[in-house]
Amino acid sequence: MKKIIITSFTAAVTLLLSCSKKIEEANLQYPLLNPVKADANAGTWKPVLLSAPNEFACAAPIATTSPDYIIQLNEIKSFQNDISAAERDQVNYWGAGAVLRWNEIMRELVARHNIPPYQNPDGTYPVPSANNPLAYPTFPFANPPYASRAYAYLSAAQYDACIAAYYYKQLYNRAAPFTVDANIQTLLPKSTLPSYPSEDAVVMGVSVELLKLLFPGDQDYINQKAEEHKRARLVAGANVRSDLDAGEALGKLVAAKFIARARGDRAGAAVGNATIWAQQEADCVARGELPWKSQESPARPGMLPLFGKVRTWLFDSLTMVTTVRPPAPPSTSSQKFKDELNEIYDFSKNLTREQLRIAHYWADGINTITPPGHWNYIAANDFVNLGFSEARWARNMALLNMSMMDAAVACWDAKYTYYNPRPSQMDPRIKTVTGLPNFPSYISGHSTFSGAASTVLGYIVPSKAQSYTDMAKEASISRMYGAIHYRSDCEMGLVTGNKIGTYAVNRGHTDGAE
Amino acid sequence: MRKKYYHMYKLAAVLIALLSFQNPAAAQTDIDGLLMQKGFFCVGPTAGKSSWKNYWEGTFKRDNANLGTVSTTAYMLMGNYGITDKLNVLFGIPYIKTKASAGQLAGQKGLQDLSLFVKWVAKEKHIGKGHLKGIVIGGWSSPVSGYTPDLLPLSIGLHSKTAMFRLMADYERGNWFTTLSGTYNFRNNVELDRDSYYTTEMHYTSEVKMPDATYFNLRVGYRSSTWIIEAIADKWTTIGGYDISKNNMPFISNKMNATKLGIHIKYDTDFINGLSFVADGFTTVAGRNVGQASGFSGGIFYIFDLGKKQKKSDNKKTADK
Chain A interface, best mutation among B98, B104, B166, by max A CB count within 10 A: B104
Which residues of chain A neighbour B248 with C-beta distances below 8 Å?
A: 115, 366-367
Q: With beta carbons less than 8 A apart as the criterion, state whether B36 and B42 touch.
A: yes
Q: What is the DSSP string of B57-97?
A: ETTEEE--TTT-SEEEEEEEEEEEEESSSSEEEEEEEEEEE
Q: How far apart are alpha carbons B194 and B224 in whole angstroms?
A: 53
pLDDT tops 90 at residue B13: no
Contacts of A293 (CB under 8 A, 6+ apart): A299, A421, A425
Under 8 Å CB-to-CB from B287, ≥6 apart: which residues?
Answer: B20, B55, B56, B256, B257, B258, B259
Q: Which residues contact A84 (CB under 8 A, 6 or more apart)?
A: none
3-state secondary structure B252-272: CCECCEEEEEEEEEEEECCCC
d(CA B115, CA B94) in angstroms, rounded, equals 9
Q: Which of A3-17, A147-161, B142-156, B185-199 shows the lowest per-residue confidence on average (mean pLDDT)?
A: A3-17
Helix (H) or strand (E) segment spanning residue A154: helix A144-172
Query: Could you give the CA distance from residue A41 to residue A395 in angstroms, rounded to a whole number?
Result: 13
- Whether residue A115 and residue B198 make contact (CB cut-off 8 A), yes or no, is no
Q: What residue in A sits closest to B203 (Cα-Cα)? A: A25
Handedness of CA A150, A153, A154, A156 (dihedral sign): positive
Interface of B with A (CB under 8 A): 65-66, 84, 87, 102-107, 120, 122, 136, 138, 146, 148, 150-151, 163, 165, 186, 188-189, 192-198, 201-205, 207, 209-210, 245-249
Give pLDDT, residue A17. 60
pLDDT in tens, A104-138: 999 999 999 999 999 999 999 999 999 999 999 99
Q: pLDDT by residue (tens digit) across B30-60?
A: 688 889 899 999 999 999 999 999 999 999 9
Which residue type occupies A237?
A: G
Mean pLDDT within B104-129: 95
C-alpha B194/C-alpha A361 separation (Å) is 4
Give me the interface pTM, i.e. the ipTM: 0.96
Chain B contact present for A4, CB below 8 A: no
Which pLDDT score is estimated for B314?
Answer: 38
Position A7 confidence tier, pLDDT thresholds 50, 70, 90: confident
Q: Tell the burial category of B107 from Cβ atoms under 10 Å away from its Cβ (0-12, 13-18, 19+).
A: middle
Chain B residue with Cα closest to A14: B165
A433 contacts chain B (CB < 8 A): yes
Q: Which residue of A has its CA nearest to B100?
A: A431
Q: Do B165 and A9 touch (CB under 8 A)?
A: yes
**Nearest residue of A to residue B200, measured between CA atoms:** A112
Measure the CA–CA gap between B128 and A131, rounded to whole angstroms. Answer: 73
**Interchain proximity A431–B105, CB inside 8 Å:** yes
Nearest CA to CA, how far is B120 from chain A (Å)? 8
Cα gap A221→A333, rounded to integer Å? 52
Coil/strand/helix, residue B225: coil
Residue from the list B138, B198, B201 with its beta carbon closest to the beta carbon of A12 = B138
* B106–A297 CB contact, under 8 Å: no
A182 touches chain B (CB under 8 A): no
Handedness of CA A100, A106, A108, A111 (dihedral sign): negative
Whether the per-residue pLDDT at B320 is higher than 50: the answer is no
A416: distance to nearest CA of chain B, Å?
22
Position A485, amino acid = H
Residue A10 has pLDDT above 90, yes or no: no
pLDDT, mean of residues B273-290: 95
Say how far apart CA A278 and CA A182 lie, in whole Å: 70
pLDDT of residue A506: 98
pTM beyond cutoff 0.90: yes
Whether B138 and A9 lie within 8 Å, measured CB to CB: yes
Q: Do B165 and A297 touch (CB under 8 A)?
A: no
Interface residue of A3, A6, A9 to substitute, partner B, most B CBs within 10 Å? A9
Q: Using DSSP bridges, classify how beta strands B213-223 and B70-82 pair: parallel, antiparallel or unpaired.
A: unpaired
Q: Is A117 on the interface with B (CB under 8 A)?
A: yes
Q: Are B84 and B120 in contact (CB under 8 A)?
A: no
Model confidence at A420, pLDDT cuts 50, 70, 90, reads very high
Residues of A with Cβ-Cβ distance to B139 under 8 angstroms: none
Contact between B87 and A5 using a beta-carbon 8 Å cutoff? yes
Q: Rounded CA gap, A159 and A53, in Å? A: 11
Distance from CA of B98 to the nearest CA of A (A): 13
Handedness of CA A484, A490, A493, A497 (dihedral sign): positive
B85 contacts on A by Cβ (under 8 Å)? none
**A115 contacts B106? CB cut-off 8 A:** no
Per 3-state DSSP, chain B is made up of helix, strand and coil in percentages (nearest 5) of 5, 55, 40
Model confidence pLDDT, tens digit, residues A451-479: 999 999 999 999 999 999 999 999 999 99
Start-end of H helices in A308-444:
317-319, 335-349, 353-361, 370-383, 390-418, 423-426
Provide the mean pLDDT of chain A: 96
**Residues A206, A254: contact at Cβ < 8 Å?**
yes
Q: Residue A280: pLDDT band by 50, 70, 90 thresholds?
A: very high
pLDDT tens for residues A426-458?
999 999 999 999 999 999 999 999 999 999 999
Contact with chain B for residue A46, Cβ under 8 A = no
Quote the minimal CA–CA distance from B263 to chain A in Å: 31
Beta bridge partners of B72: B50, B98
Inter-CA distances, B135 with B120, B232, B315, Å: 6, 18, 19
Reported as a single tens digit per residue, the pLDDT across A35-78 is 999 999 999 999 999 999 999 999 999 999 999 999 999 999 99
Contact A432 B249 (CB under 8 A): no
pLDDT at A504: 98
Buried b / exposed e over B201-238, threshold 16 CB at 10 Å, is ebbbbbbbbbbbbebebebebebebeebebebebbbbb
- Cβ atoms of B242 and B199 within 8 Å: the answer is yes
| A514 — pLDDT class (breaks 50, 70, 90) | very high
Residues 6+ apart with CB under 8 A from A98: A199, A200, A203, A204, A229, A390
- The DSSP 8-state label assigned to residue A42 in this structure reads G
| Per-residue pLDDT reduced to its tens digit, A315-332 | 999 999 999 999 999 999
